[in-house]
């Protein structure tokens, strides 16, 4: 999403970016995203906010005013963003081309297995928490596993309210997000040595019962699904002090991946992209000056989020959990 917003922002300013995407053109991502308000400005600028909001559910459903977030299909957002963009699908970045210290392009491997070198004025790694570009360009990043994992589910049944949340005593959350295509929920549990096996050992029926007792609007969506719609996920965190080097920059999760419990990752990445598009257009032919401008403007906007971190959203009640608030249950 961050890369596509950057591309649209550059196109708006008369530039011609190319997006390299290793996934094939027909790959789709199921389920919703909770698009946070931080995404509104970047999406409005490229003329997509109203169309995306019209295909989602406002959270909360105000009569007037601006919602805090919009629950919408991830693929709907991606399809809207990529319309008209030169996206080369099946193109995996596997190396960078250099002239001394400067990155001047990249090597891609195509779906057919061929290698091609493409020149660039500025290469932007918007390639997610496991960023290949970050590693190839030699950014010194702190990449770490969070102490919190997510046990989540997807259902085709739309909940009776678009959003529900229950904070556990330690501030972790149990959440449901609705969208016109159904609902998705997540229980933030401690990361487990035994991974998915340990997290799901007590069975889906017990999980469903406890989840719905904590967030009642989950009852109907959960009644319609089974263990095949249930997933254990561990997210990676990323902190990177340096934002760019000559000829190459990082944005979005490649630069600062947060735990999904924060619910704002997409908005922060889109904000990075919008600011970088402005900076590039203001510094024609000078990628380093553009990156410098971008960092000067964007760092103060991002600094509070990075300082507080994903855990900043926790509402800590303290005390002992009630039996139904414990997952996995004691054996
Ligand atoms: C479980 C989960 C739930 C989340 N829920 C929310 C939420 O509700 N709200 C929210 O705001 N955020 C949420 N996030 C975060 C959100 O998904 C990201 O912030 C958002 O996807 C934008 O990230 P990005 O564009 O930086 O990277 P990504 O979405 O990771 O995109 C990176 C892209 O780069 C491509 N790529 C990777 N390597 C290469 C390569 N070598 N060559 C070519 N292409 C490559 C990938 O195929 C991918 O398309 C969630 C994240 C997770 C993991």
pLDDT digits (tens, 9 = 90+) for 220-279: 999 999 999 999 999 999 999 999 999 999 999 999 999 999 999 999 999 999 999 999
Q: How far is the CA of 272 from the centre of ligand 1 (A)?
A: 14
Pocket test for ligand 1, best of 82, 129, 260, 306 (most atoms within 8 A of CB): 260
Of ligand 1's atoms, which has the minimum distance to the CA of residue 1?
Answer: 25
pLDDT at 60: 83
Q: How far is the CA of 1 from the centre of ligand 1 (A)?
A: 7
Answer whether 260 contacts ligand 1 (Cβ < 6 A): yes
Q: How far is the CA of 128 from the centre of ligand 1 (A)?
A: 5
Of ligand 1's atoms, which has the minimum distance to the CA of residue 92?
Answer: 42
Of ligand 1's atoms, which has the minimum distance to the CA of residue 4?
Answer: 25
Answer whether 36 contacts ligand 1 (Cβ < 6 A): yes
Q: Which residue carries 């449901």 as its tokens?
A: 176
Q: Are 155 and 221 in contact (CB under 8 A)?
A: yes
Q: How far is the CA of 5 from the centre of ligand 1 (A)?
A: 13
Nearest-CA residue for atom 49 of ligand 1: 21
Answer whether 22 contacts ligand 1 (Cβ < 6 A): yes
Give me the CATH topology for the region 2-141+236-311. FAD/NAD(P)-binding domain (3.50.50)
pLDDT at 64: 77
Q: How far is the CA of 288 from the centre of ligand 1 (A)?
A: 26
Distances (CA, A) of 290 to 18, 33, 276: 18, 31, 7
* Cα-only R_g, the chain: 21
Q: How far is the CA of 317 from the centre of ligand 1 (A)?
A: 31
Nearest-CA residue for atom 5 of ligand 1: 260
162 token code pair: 């678009």
93 token code pair: 């970045």
SS3 (DSSP) at 323:
helix
91 token code pair: 């193109």
* Nearest to 190, CA basis, from 169, 217, 176, 204: 169
Q: Which residues in 261-289 are b (16+ Cβ under 10 Å) and which e?
A: bbbbbbbbbbbbbbbbbbbbeebeeebee
pLDDT at 62: 73
Of ligand 1's atoms, which has the minimum distance to the CA of residue 108?
Answer: 42
Of ligand 1's atoms, which has the minimum distance to the CA of residue 257?
Answer: 19
* Nearest to 159, CA basis, from 221, 250, 117, 215: 221
110 token code pair: 């195509």
Answer whether 92 contacts ligand 1 (Cβ < 6 A): yes
Nearest-CA residue for atom 1 of ligand 1: 260
Answer whether 197 contacts ligand 1 (Cβ < 6 A): no
309 token code pair: 């971190």
10-residue mean pLDDT profile of the chain (331 residues): values are 98 98 96 96 98 94 84 98 97 98 97 94 98 98 95 98 96 97 97 96 98 98 98 95 98 96 95 98 97 97 94 93 95 76
Answer whether 125 contacts ligand 1 (Cβ < 6 A): no
DSSP output for 151-199: EEEEESSPPSSSEEEEE-TTS-EEEEEEETTEEEEEEEEE--TTHHHHH
């Amino acid at each position: 999403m961050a890369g596509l917003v950057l591309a649209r922002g550059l196109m708006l300013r008369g530039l011609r970016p190319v997006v390299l995407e290793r996934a094939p053109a027909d790959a789709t991502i199921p389920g919703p995203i909770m698009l946070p308000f931080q995404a509104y400005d970047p999406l409005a600028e490229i003329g997509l906010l109203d169309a995306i909001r019209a295909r989602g559910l406002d959270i909360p459903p105000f009569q007037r005013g601006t919602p805090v977030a919009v629950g919408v299909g991830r693929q709907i957002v991606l399809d809207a963003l990529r319309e008209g963009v030169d996206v080369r699908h099946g193109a995996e970045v596997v190396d960078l081309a250099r002239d001394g210290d400067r990155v001047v392009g990249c090597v891609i491997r195509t779906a057919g297995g061929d290698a091609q070198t493409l020149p660039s004025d500025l290469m932007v790694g918007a390639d997610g928490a496991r960023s290949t570009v970050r590693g190839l360009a030699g950014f010194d990043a702190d990449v770490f596993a969070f102490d919190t994992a997510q046990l989540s589910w997807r259902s085709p049944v739309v909940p009776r309210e678009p959003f529900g949340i229950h904070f556990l005593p330690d501030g972790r959350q149990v959440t449901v997000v609705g969208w016109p295509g159904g609902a998705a929920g997540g229980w933030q549990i401690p990361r487990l040595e035994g991974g998915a096996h340990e997290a799901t050992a007590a069975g889906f029926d017990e999980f469903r019962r406890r989840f719905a007792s904590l967030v009642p609007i989950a009852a109907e969506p959960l009644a319609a699904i089974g263990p095949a719609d249930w997933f254990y996920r561990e997210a990676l965190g990323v902190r990177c002090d340096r934002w760019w080097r000559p000829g190459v920059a990082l944005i979005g999760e490649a630069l600062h991946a947060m735990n999904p419990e924060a619910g704002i990752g997409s908005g922060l990445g889109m904000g990075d992209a919008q600011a970088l598009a402005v900076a590039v257009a203001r510094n024609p032919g000078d990628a380093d000056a553009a990156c410098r401008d971008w960092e000067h403007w964007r760092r103060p906007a991002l600094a509070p989020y990075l300082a507080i971190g994903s855990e900043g959203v926790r509402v800590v009640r303290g005390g002992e959990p009630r039996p139904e608030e414990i997952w996995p249950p004691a054996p």
